Amino acid sequence: MSTDLDIVFAALADPTRRRILSMLLEDDMAVTDVAEPFEMSLAAISKHLTILTRAGLISQEKRGRVKWCKLEPDAMREASVWMQGFGQFEAINLDAFEKFLEKEFGPDPEA
């Protein structure tokens, strides 16, 4: 796994940061607006935003006196591609598996 992918997954591991990303799905937001629904200091939110920025998941831009946050969805592409690799496994057909077990080992005596 690449270092960039490690950084993205580490950033996504925190529920506060995932909630921030969900909020930014709607539109760009000022840092103070991002902080509003959380019961933590603006400094704590700023640390979360710094981690998301370093991971490339968001960008921050100063517009006048206000710092704005913008979702950067392309940063999740590598993580998404990596996770999709696990979708190649077929779901287990439990009925077929049960028939296989009966054939191999006989009927379940507890059934």
CATH number at residue 90: 1.10.10.10
Q: Write the pLDDT tens digit of every residue in 14-29.
A: 999 999 999 999 999 9
Is residue 111 domain-resident? no
pLDDT at 5 over 60: yes
Tell me what pLDDT residue 79 has: 84
Amino acid occupying residue 58: I
List the structure tokens of 17.
């940061």
Strand order in the sheet with 58-63: 29-30, 66-71, 58-63
Is residue 110 domain-resident? no
Strand pairing class (66-71; 58-63): antiparallel
Is residue 35 domain-resident? yes
The structural domain count of the chain equals 1
Q: Write the pLDDT tens digit of every residue in 27-57.
A: 999 999 999 999 999 999 999 999 999 999 9
Amino acid occupying residue 70: K
Is residue 11 domain-resident? yes
SS3 30: strand
* Domain that residue 64 falls in: 3-105
